[in-house]
Chains A and B, each alone.
Chain A
């Protein structure tokens, strides 16, 4: 089973044998890859009961819970990495969640759809309607994305919080694209962060 491109980037950049918390782990696809291919001790947090059942049924340690509240239950620095993929924009308090990720993990991977991608801009500018794209497939009233974020917004939050960007990857149509003008060209961004030392 092939991983979603942003998850493949994360999987390729996690140190083998590390302890990983996947927040919003879905049915555990990334966790299984990290366990099987990189010998990680992977744990998951997932809101949807069906996904949790599916993940547990494949032998993964996954807890049903809500990133908006339940991250507070994890001890400090209990993981090498905390991972939040495609979930930041759905949380009620993205800034709090980001703080929690870097409290729980020594490092954090965060991936999100870039709301400043040119297609989104064009849709809003020329169409005057909230964009419906490949990565943002639902209409404004049905989308779980309540905090739309752009690459530059995210960089600003990271700076404001005093975190350090260890790595960043940008995707356009499932392919890596350059960091130059990523805020315009990237459909999707993956950041690796750590606390300032």
Chain B
């Protein structure tokens, strides 16, 4: 298995497609950048798909090629962790519309030999999931032992269970929701408008000039980053402390530590992310409403499902608060699906799912082992 070119780190595959998108367009070919960890067992029954969040990527447990930082979910994925390459065959793919190698606005449209830009079709969470299903076909995996994700990754896990119930034995949905609320959409719209208001955006055709809308994308990231943290967390970390100075300057430099921190978050983000991808993926999130796809009744998404579900929320997460998870749990109960749910305590808001959380690991580990 080890010399199979389909498996390993930093893989890319071009699948002929076509992939029929929810918006009506046909996408062909479909590039998917992905990584695998561990070995697929003889009956291909130990595969776990890890789904990443808005600005995540396939480097779940390997060094990021641009930032040089460790994988984004090494707390959950790795030797001795709940998702363990010693036991599992782990797959993580860059989502459709993103910018780390999968088809998206920054990739070249074969019809014009130029980057797609805003001519790339608008995609949905379900389109991302369908592309992942094509990847699994390519890898020879019929059925997943589990699909797991936090935030947008959790939405993909839900969409997987609803779209391909026979291909998912278990779904782990962390700090997520079954639809985007008005407040979620509102924050994303602020980010999109910041990008589109940047003169360097040029209607999305900035690739050839090599001068991307960094200021706009940076502001978008700053606004979004606030939603990933809790007020208590921000207060504990920064309070009203000043940044490397004794007194206020009576100017508009980053006097406060929290300003400096946010600016740093914005600036470092633009080095690794494409502004148009940010527009497309936030759009996909805003369009997400799993109940709407099933006649307005969320329980219908899980009717007759054999998938086991595990949901976890965090008490200080105000981006996808506990009540969103409870709505899903309610629907799962109504559908009679086997479901577990727990709200964990953390001071870190939405970001808690990415951080060290022994309780989260205990829950996910027990849940996964129960199905093995």
Contacts and interface: CB of A to CB of B under 8 A. Distances in A.
A103 interface: no
A36 interface: no
A59 B338 CA distance: 11
Nearest to B326: A65
Interface of A: 41, 43, 49, 52-53, 55-65, 73-75, 78
Contacts of B339: 43, 61, 63
A73 B335 CA distance: 11
B341 A63 contact: yes
A62 B363 CA distance: 11
A100 to B, nearest CB: 13
Contact of A73 (B334, B338, B344, B345): B334
B247 interface: no
B66 interface: no
Contacts of A78: 333, 336
Interface in B301-346: 308, 310, 326, 329-330, 333-334, 336, 338-345
Given A61-B339, A63-B339, A56 B367 contact: yes
Contacts of B342: 49, 52-53, 56, 62, 64
A33 to B, nearest CB: 16
B334 A56 contact: no
B363 A57 contact: yes
A61 B330 contact: no
Contact of B310 (A49, A56, A58, A65): A56
Interface size on B, as a range, is 20 to 34
B22 interface: no
Contact of A53 (B336, B359, B370): B359
Contact of B362 (A41, A57, A63, A65): A57
A61 B338 contact: yes
A53 B363 contact: yes
29 contacts: A41-B338, A43-B338, A49-B342, A49-B343, A49-B344, A49-B359, A52-B340, A52-B341, A52-B342, A53-B342, A53-B363, A56-B340, A56-B342, A56-B366, A56-B367, A59-B366, A60-B340, A61-B338, A61-B340, A62-B340, A62-B341, A63-B329, A63-B340, A64-B341, A73-B329, A73-B333, A75-B334, A75-B336, A78-B336
B209 interface: no
Nearest to B344: A49
B245 interface: no
Contacts of B326: 65
Given A56-B367, A57-B363, A75 B308 contact: no
